[in-house]
Amino acid sequence: MKAIRIVRPKEPLEIQELETPKPQGSQVLVKVQSSGVCHSDIQLWDGGYRGPGGQFLKVTDRGIKYPLTPGHEVAGTIDSLGEDAKRFFIKNEKVVIYPWIGEGLCPACRGGEDNLCDKPRSLGVYRDGGYAEYVLVPNYRYIVKLDEDMDIDASATLSCSGLTAYRAIKNANLKPDDNVVIVGGTGGLGLMAIQLAKALTGAKVIAIGLHNNKLQAARKCGADAVVNSNKEDPTKAIMELTDKMGADAVIDFVNDSKTVEADMQFLRRRARLVLVGLFGGEVNLNLINIPARAYKLIGIDNGSIIDFIELISLASRRIVKPVVSNQFKLDQATEALTLLREGKIIGRSVINP
């Protein structure tokens, strides 16, 4: 089978011919139809993250090994099944994969939250993922059936951008008379979070982004108001839009020094600040404000398999519709990642092997 892989950080990805895996036991081989291109794939490609004090945090220090086939948002069809998986699926069934696989025995895994495992084994991160013609899934329980009429590209993006946005909205604990500010509201996660907030909470949704054409997409997804932080001061704009009270919750899909510093300026008392993005860096915190204003700081790292099943149910009933804007072939993966890095993708792009 063909796979496009990161062989060395920062170098163009390489097409490689690999042996097609044969599933055994509980394993399942999925023929990849669509694999989403995620911001965290860029960090794998760069070889690390921006840490505090200008440090570079290498992914190899977290146990990631190259060469690696990235791709954790994967949908496709069942190709073949190990003996123990045969009673659950049949060949050619349309499925999506839950990629946040754990080692199985830590407290998080035992509680159904593989995504928070002490020793993660995630697909496309710690093991080969979906930038390939086939992907081997270690256990049938990470595979979820899709309805025949569900769009395969949109379904693929549920596994990370959809799931993370869903978990973030759940943790923001929004009430119908709350307002929520979505920072980075024009990327794949932001647009999904806007739809979920509208569909599930009744809260007023304000999206902050950098480009008018992308903020237009946020409006289409249901944002009640949009703020272009290139053109206006976000703090001033949010205070005006919230009758000078500030935001009940902020979900930051960028999460760098600049955005979080700004977020802290427009939190209402009791606000939840939900940090999701992986841009990284550091901030100075006014510590007295945390207890005195009763803020909650919450970090989100994907969602559980239960969250995933709930989200697929919402998507199957068209309550949320992931925005997929670009499709690439396997050998265009480097181009897909480059366009994402340059901020040229609205919503999500996918690779169709």
Which residues sit at the interface with Zn ion, rule CB under 5 A? 38, 40, 102-103, 106, 109, 117, 160
Residue 109 beta carbon to Zn ion: minimum distance, rounded to whole angstroms: 3
Q: Which is nearer to Zn ion, 278 or 290 (CB)?
A: 278
Q: Which is nearer to Zn ion, 160 or 221 (CB)?
A: 160
The residues, ordered by sequence, that sit 6+ positions from 334 with a Cβ below 8 Å of its Cβ are 12, 13
Residue 188 beta carbon to Zn ion: minimum distance, rounded to whole angstroms: 9
Residue 267 beta carbon to Zn ion: minimum distance, rounded to whole angstroms: 27
Q: Which is nearer to Zn ion, 78 or 101 (CB)?
A: 101
Residue 245 beta carbon to Zn ion: minimum distance, rounded to whole angstroms: 33
Phi and psi at residue 259, to the nearest 5°: -70, -40
Residue 291 beta carbon to Zn ion: minimum distance, rounded to whole angstroms: 33
Q: Which is nearer to Zn ion, 103 or 282 (CB)?
A: 103
The residues, ordered by sequence, that sit 6+ positions from 46 with a Cβ below 8 Å of its Cβ are 9, 10
Q: Is-contact 323 315, C-beta < 8 A? A: no
Q: Which is nearer to Zn ion, 117 or 305 (CB)?
A: 117
Q: Which residues of 45-155 form beta strands (DSSP E)?
A: 48-50, 56-58, 73-81, 94-97, 134-137, 143-145
Residue 325 beta carbon to Zn ion: minimum distance, rounded to whole angstroms: 16
CA-CA distances (angstroms) from residue 299 to 142, 158, 309, 337?
24, 19, 21, 25
Q: Which is nearer to Zn ion, 35 or 40 (CB)?
A: 40
Residue 159 beta carbon to Zn ion: minimum distance, rounded to whole angstroms: 8
Helix axis angle, 234-241 relative to 257-265, nearest 10°? 40
User: How many CB atoms are located within 10 Å of the residue 39 CB?
Assistant: 21
Q: Which is nearer to Zn ion, 83 or 301 (CB)?
A: 301
* CA gap 291, 289 in Å, rounded: 6
CA-CA distances (angstroms) from residue 20 to 17, 76, 92, 281?
9, 16, 17, 40
Q: Is 188 exposed, middle or buried (0-12, 13-18, 19+ CB in 10 A)?
A: buried
Q: Which is nearer to Zn ion, 25 or 112 (CB)?
A: 112
Q: Is-contact 137 49, C-beta < 8 A? A: no
Q: Which is nearer to Zn ion, 76 or 124 (CB)?
A: 124
3-class SS string, 274-323: EECCCCECCCCCCCCHHHHCCCEEEECCCCCHHHHHHHHHHHHCCCCCCC
Residue 65 beta carbon to Zn ion: minimum distance, rounded to whole angstroms: 19
Q: Match 């181009």 to its residue by tokens.
A: 335
Residue 230 beta carbon to Zn ion: minimum distance, rounded to whole angstroms: 26
